[in-house]
Amino acid sequence: MNLNDRISDQVNRVPRSGIRDFFELVIGRDDVISLGVGEPDYAAPWHIREAAIYSLEKGMTSYTSNLGLLSLRQEISKYVEKQFGVEYDPETEVLITVGVSEALDLACRAILNPGDEVIYHEPCYVSYSPSVIMAYGQAVPVATAAEDGFALKAGTLSEVLTPKSKALMLNFPTNPTGGTLSRADVQEISEFAVENDLLVLTDEIYSELLYDGETHYSVAAEPGMRERTILFHGFSKAFAMTGFRLGYACGPPPLIEAMMKIHQYSMLCAPITSQMAALEALRNGEPAMKKMRDSYAMRRRTLLDGFEEIGVPCPEPKGAFYAFPDVSGTGLSSKEFATRLLEEKNVAAVPGDAFGPSGEGHLRCCYATALEKLRIALEKMGELVTDIGKEGS
């Protein structure tokens, strides 16, 4: 039996993650400095780990409600109101999921019929287009540009709008560019969504991680948007809790109910240990979160100054923990540059085209990495740029 013939067309249409493919090369190599994986280099704060341990000590090892623990949904509802300025009813409008990853998948599966189109901005997080495709939708990218700070401009949306456009997928601050939206951008995008009766899926997982006095604005808070928006957030990034696998979706009851149906048959509920840890993160996690953010701010500055020094242009990322320098001046493609950086200088960063064709020419460098490692990585990158320059002359 040829098992390759038995794989579904939907799955065959989806490529493997460009990040993972690249990092297969790095696994097991202690000599490599990695700016590659998009996660904090901190362990979750101790009081959060302790809450998880204590819940186990108390014997909390059961399922929870499909929606998640009510106490956590209540706490999420308070946090979301404070963070995004939108109120959600914890009883019917909040669903706790296994990371934002699951929430994105559920939302796509809940709203899409075969052929429905979802517009998303690119470069973007690697799972967006696959989540749409695996839900039988069509993923329709709109390129964002370095000169706009990788913000999505509402004007570009009308170019790809068709009668089949059903939803708009957003992620600001953006992985991999660190791009953010101004208030005016958010207003214009929201007006576009309302005028064209689009649903909006907005992944605001990096919303706490902003620098240089930047403010986060959510489309969910704009007039006419709450009723058409699913807001995603989670604990992986700001609270350094990636391994707990906990996220949530907030939205109007019919959308949350539809997502919950898929969740209850596929996942049943998110792990109770992680939910107990998340409860502690929301109740007492702000000081540690701010401390981590301050350290990312310092690392970001080191990286940006370093890129300037070695003559690699880098649009200033305003949020998340990624820089997206432009290495096209070396004459190499993203992949060629990243491969040489790894093979010749033992530094790993993700080629920009892993995030869509408009990422070509760039490199994603995650700066949730120790300062000392960042400095060495910069030095090595500088050496490679010089080597390449010499080859050309």
Interacting residues with ligand PMP (CB under 6 A)? 38, 99-101, 125, 171, 175, 203, 205, 234, 236, 242, 247
Rounded CA separation 215/318 (Å): 9
**CB of 123 or CB of 306, closer to ligand PMP:** 123
Q: Which two tokens stand for residue 327?
A: 């290495």
**CB of 123 or CB of 361, closer to ligand PMP:** 123
Rounded CA separation 35/365 (Å): 5
30 exposure class (CB count in 10 Å sphere: 0-12, 13-18, 19+): exposed
Nearest distance, CB of residue 376 and ligand PMP, angstroms = 24
Quote the distance between the C-alpha of residue 82 and its chain's center. 21
**CB of 186 or CB of 384, closer to ligand PMP:** 186
364 exposure class (CB count in 10 Å sphere: 0-12, 13-18, 19+): buried
Sign of CA dihedral 75, 182, 169, 366: negative
Nearest distance, CB of residue 389 and ligand PMP, angstroms = 33
Nearest distance, CB of residue 37 and ligand PMP, angstroms = 8
**CB of 204 or CB of 222, closer to ligand PMP:** 204
**CB of 206 or CB of 307, closer to ligand PMP:** 206
Which are the contacts of 195, defined by CB distance < 8 A and separation ≥ 6?
none
Nearest distance, CB of residue 19 and ligand PMP, angstroms = 9
Q: Evaluate whether 201 touches 110 at the Cβ level (below 8 Å).
A: no
Only one residue has tokens 């996942």, namely: 267
CA atoms within 13 A on the CB side of 134: 15
Rounded CA separation 384/370 (Å): 21
Nearest distance, CB of residue 99 and ligand PMP, angstroms = 2
Residue type, 318: K
Q: Evaluate whether 277 touches 112 at the Cβ level (below 8 Å).
A: no
At residue 323, the 3 state secondary structure works out as strand
Q: Evaluate whether 349 touches 368 at the Cβ level (below 8 Å).
A: no
Nearest distance, CB of residue 4 and ligand PMP, angstroms = 29
Nearest distance, CB of residue 358 and ligand PMP, angstroms = 16
Rounded CA separation 79/84 (Å): 8
Nearest distance, CB of residue 373 and ligand PMP, angstroms = 19
Only one residue has tokens 């930047």, namely: 214
**CB of 242 or CB of 346, closer to ligand PMP:** 242
Which ranges in 231-271 belong to alpha helices (H)? 253-266
Nearest distance, CB of residue 73 and ligand PMP, angstroms = 17
**CB of 207 or CB of 295, closer to ligand PMP:** 207
**CB of 107 or CB of 385, closer to ligand PMP:** 107
**CB of 38 or CB of 149, closer to ligand PMP:** 38
Residue nearest to ligand PMP (CB): 99
Which are the contacts of 136, defined by CB distance < 8 A and separation ≥ 6?
10, 112, 113, 114, 115, 116
